[in-house]
Amino acid sequence: MSFYVPYSDLPSEAVALDSAIDSLREELDATNLYHQRYLVLNDEPLKELMLHNRDEEIEHCAMLIEWLRRKFPEFDRELRKYLFTDAGITRIEAVPDGGNAGDPAARSLGIGSLLR
C-alpha cells in the first residue's frame, strides 16, 4: 500500500486504486520471477511449469489493466491510443487525443507517416 496523504482523508475509490496498482506490481514481479526461473532451469517439466505460471501472471496483469481501464476514462483513452497498433510507440503522442495512429483519418492528415 502506498498512501501519500492521510489514509483517513481518502475515499474508498482511492483505496481500491491503490490495491489494484499494488496487485499489478505484484503480478508483474511474479511474471519476472517465473520468467527468470524458466530461463535457468534444466528440468524440462519444471521449466514448462514455470512458463505456464508466467503466462498465468501475464493474464492477471491484463485483468488488472482492464479493471483500471473500466474505472478511469484516462486509462481507457491512453490504452486505446497506445495499444494494438504498429505505430512507433514514442511517436503516437503526435496523434491528437481521440485519434488512432492506425486510423486512416490520422494517415490522411499526414500523421500516420510520422508514426512509423
- Residues found near Fe ion in the complex (CB under 5 A): 27, 57, 60
Handedness of CA 99, 105, 109, 114 (dihedral sign): positive
In angstroms and rounded to an integer, the radius of gyration of the C-alpha atoms of the chain is 19
Nearer to Fe ion, 10 or 68 (CB): 68
Residue nearest to Fe ion (CB): 60
Q: Would you say 46 or 63 has its CB closer to Fe ion?
A: 63
Cβ 76 to Fe ion shortest distance, Å: 23
DSSP per-residue codes, 25-41 = HHHHHHHHHHHHHHHH-
Q: CB nearer to Fe ion: give 60 or 71.
A: 60
